[in-house]
Amino acid sequence: MTMGRFIALEGGEGVGKSTQGRLLADALRARGLDVVTTREPGGTAGAEAIRMMLLSTEGEGWGARAEALLFAAARADHVDKLIRPAVERGAWVVCDRFVDSSRAYQGGGGGLCDGDVLDLHRIGSEGLLPDLTLLLTVDPAVSAQRLALRDGDVADRIGGRGADYHARVAAAFRAFADAEPTRFGVIDAEGAPDEVHGRIMAALAGILA
Ligand code: TYD
């Protein structure tokens, strides 16, 4: 049996990852592929429970290190129970966020060093990386507008952090994509959803061939 593929969608808040994940999954299914859509933090019962702890605005919140450990623990469960088995049976996994979010948010935003975040990932998930990571980028003014439409005044604990934090996250994502141009596809996510989807399908041409 041939192995499936693992595709992650990444980017800051309000860049349209969930819409694009759905359009991508539909397009892959239309080609007859077995597709699993999932998200982080979450995707399994255990990881969804950790998600609640991470994103709830109740309580005093987590320090950067505890936060990184919790994301890594959620990911370990997700990889072990859902992502690896799906890829091994030949499915295509489309995941809304993966380890590059930890590198960008807990690393770039929160100040942890990238090597530490990657060490947690090595311990938790044997360092599994996507076959392709699509980084969706938009002008910060555009994402702020999309977020206001989506969230109104109710942001989660991490989404609600300040503009400086999110600027560091965006810069970190860019730096990772520049450092690993074959694993990343940088997608201009401005414009109508079907235009952005067209760019994503073009970026996938290599692995669909
Ligand atoms: P979610 O509602 O899924 O946000 P979005 O729609 O923007 O993807 O919430 C996930 C939040 O968790 C988001 O603010 C990014 C953050 N996050 C991290 O800080 N580190 C991580 O490793 C992951 C997966 C997400």
Indicate the number of domains in the chain: 1
Q: Is the CB of 71 under 6 A from ligand 1?
A: yes
- Mean pLDDT value of segment 1-28: 95
Atom of ligand 1 nearest to the CA of 42: 24
Radius of gyration of the chain (CA): 16
Q: Is the pLDDT of residue 152 over 80?
A: no
Say which CATH number the domain at 120 has.
Answer: 3.40.50.300
Residue with the smallest CA separation from ligand 1 atom 19 is 105
Ligand 1 pocket: which of 69, 105, 135 to mutate (most atoms within 8 A of CB): 105
Cα 41 to averaged position of ligand 1 atoms, centre (Å): 7
How far, in Å, CA of 209 to CA of 205, rounded?
A: 6
State how far the alpha carbon of 10 is from the alpha carbons of 28, 45, 46, 70, 187, in Å.
Answer: 18, 22, 22, 19, 10
Q: Is the pLDDT of residue 1 over 90?
A: no
- Tokens coding 45: 């019962």
- Mean pLDDT value of segment 3-15: 95
Q: Is the CB of 75 under 6 A from ligand 1?
A: no
pLDDT in tens, 110-135: 999 999 999 999 999 999 999 999 99
Atom of ligand 1 nearest to the CA of 159: 14
Q: Is the CB of 124 under 6 A from ligand 1?
A: no
Average confidence score pLDDT of the chain: 95
Q: What is the full DSSP assignment across 75-131?
A: HHHHIIIIIHHHHHTTPEEEEES-HHHHIIIIIIIT---HHHHHHHHHHHHTT---S
How far, in Å, CA of 167 to CA of 110, rounded?
A: 12
The secondary element (H helix, E strand) that includes residue 22 is helix 17-30
Q: What percent of the chain has pLDDT over 90?
A: 83
Q: What percent of the chain has pLDDT over 70?
A: 99
Containing structural domain, residue 189? 5-208
Q: Is the pLDDT of residue 15 over 70?
A: yes
Q: Which residue has the higher pLDDT, 146 or 30?
A: 30
Cα 164 to averaged position of ligand 1 atoms, centre (Å): 16
pLDDT of residue 200: 98
Cα 75 to averaged position of ligand 1 atoms, centre (Å): 12
- Mean pLDDT value of segment 99-107: 98
Burial grade of 181 (CB within 10 A; 0-12, 13-18, 19 or more) = exposed
pLDDT of residue 154: 73
Q: What is the full DSSP assignment across 121-137?
A: HHHHHTT---SEEEEEE
Q: Is the CB of 101 under 6 A from ligand 1?
A: yes
- Mean pLDDT value of segment 41-56: 97
Atom of ligand 1 nearest to the CA of 40: 24
pLDDT of residue 148: 80
State phi, psi for 130 to the nearest 5 degrees.
-65, 155
Whose tokens are 């999110």? That residue is 166
Q: Is 106 left (phi over 0), alpha (psi -120 to 50) or beta?
A: alpha
pLDDT of residue 153: 66
